Amino acid sequence: MKSLLSNKLYLSILGLDLLSNLGDTLYYLALMNYVLLLPDTKYALALVSFSETFPILSGIFWGYLADKTSKKVNTIIATQVFRLLLYILVGRVMSFQPALGVVIVAAFVNLLAAMAGQYENGLYIPISLRLVSDQDREMATAFSSSLKSTFSILFNASGAILIGIMSYSQLAYINAATFAVCALLMTRLSPKLNALLNQKPITPDQKQKSFIKGFIGDFKSMVAIMVEIPIIRLCLVIVPCLNALLNGLSTILVLVMSADKGFIFFNSATTIASVSMVLTLGQILGNLLVTTVLKDLGIMKALHGSIYLLLMVYFSMFCHNIAALLISLFLIGITVGIVNPKMYAYLLNTLPEDKMALMSNSLTTYFMLGTFIFNFVLSGLVLILSAQLLVVFCLLLSLLLVGYTLFSSRKKD
């Protein structure tokens, strides 16, 4: 940890990331509250939801483009200036009377900004590989993740306060200002960052290909590499299912509370907030444990723990025991907080650097597919199944996931 805290360049980049997260959080809260002012809220919500979802699905292409971009530091600055201009535009548009047309512009800007963020994240990967040594990457990932989660709680709390005292237009300008500061500071850091990249240059494939042929070729080689790695191969099955069942929890929780008025923690609002809070706090604790007492814990053991605890989560809901639900969510948050930095560090140390952004974004997209599919199925099931039957359905899926995990472990042995 001392090596990280003494790494001023690493801390500077982390600080810029936190600053941009602050602006994004404020803008998202402002946009969602702005939507509530409209009479046709459902259409506006659909637009905002699309602007949040589509960039995840398009991340594969931005990852490929990031891998092929040569002047990474200068391009990062350009993406920050681009988002600065976008949010200045939104600030101007939001000064008009609330209307669906304003939301359309804001959602489109949100879409463009999110895709620019995907591109920028891919550009940062080779820089991060040079900022931190191989042995410190797991610790660095856990440290940054715990800070981001902690500050996310603070940003949401401060955002809720600022929305009450500032206009939506002013909040958009604040977001623009964060990107202005990031671009200026990044410009100051650019000589040092370019020097790091020049000391250990990236050696991409020298064959000249069209964008489509190059993308298809790199994607095929990426898939071939990943399926040959046992840990990644197992994660390709387990992680999408785990994400799906955890993300669907909030919807099912609301249904269970509506059917059982006693299944609450103080009140319904507190219960919903507590579920999100204990999961986040568990992840923060897991991130901290990775850097200390659990730094030698294997990825697979932690991942298996997540699967068994998922079964506990839905069994607690089946028994309508809110205390057991919150405890099991806190514990699963700890295992997720352990798995994520270990897995990310493993990928950075294992996969080829010239395809790193493509692989990272592809895995992120793939892992989210389970959530998209499950939410689609869930939206239909809520119309035909009772709350308790939905819990049983998810409990059976959790049992199948546990069975697959045990079978895969025995097969490996």
The domain segmentation of the chain, as residue ranges, is: 2-202, 220-412
| pLDDT > 70: percent of the chain | 92
Residue 77: the pLDDT is: 92
Residue 100: the pLDDT is: 78
Residue 42: the pLDDT is: 65
CATH 1.20.1250.20 fits 220-412, yes or no: yes
Q: Pinpoint the alpha helices (H) of 69-136.
A: 72-93, 100-131
Query: pLDDT-derived band of residue 204, with 50, 70 and 90 as boundaries?
Result: low
Query: pLDDT-derived band of residue 268, with 50, 70 and 90 as boundaries?
Result: low
Q: What is the largest CA-CA distance in the chain?
A: 65
Q: Please identify, in words, the CATH class of the domain defined by 2-202.
A: mainly alpha
The C-alpha atoms of residue 30 and residue 173 are separated, in whole angstroms, by 11
**Contacts for 276 with CB less than 8 Å, ≥ 6 apart:** 250
Q: 209: helix, coil or strand? A: coil
The C-alpha atoms of residue 384 and residue 382 are separated, in whole angstroms, by 6
Residue 78: the pLDDT is: 93
Burial of 267 (0-12, 13-18, 19+ CB in 10 A): exposed
Q: 234: helix, coil or strand? A: helix
Q: 90: helix, coil or strand? A: helix
User: End-to-end alpha-carbon separation of the chain, Å?
Assistant: 35
Residue 55: the pLDDT is: 76
CA dihedral 117, 291, 153, 371 (to 10 degrees): 60
What totals of helices (H) and strands (E) does the chain contain, helices first? 15, 0
CB atoms within 10 A of CB 21: 16
Residue 80 in this model has a pLDDT that exceeds 80: yes
pTM of the model: 0.76
Residue 287 in this model has a pLDDT that exceeds 70: yes
CB distance 122 to 360 below 8 Å: yes
Domains 2-202 and 220-412 share a fold: yes
How much is the average pLDDT of 214-220? 73
Burial of 164 (0-12, 13-18, 19+ CB in 10 A): exposed
CA dihedral 235, 241, 243, 245 (to 10 degrees): -150
DSSP state of 267: B
The C-alpha atoms of residue 177 and residue 382 are separated, in whole angstroms, by 43
Residue 27 in this model has a pLDDT that exceeds 50: yes
How much is the average pLDDT of 304-322? 88
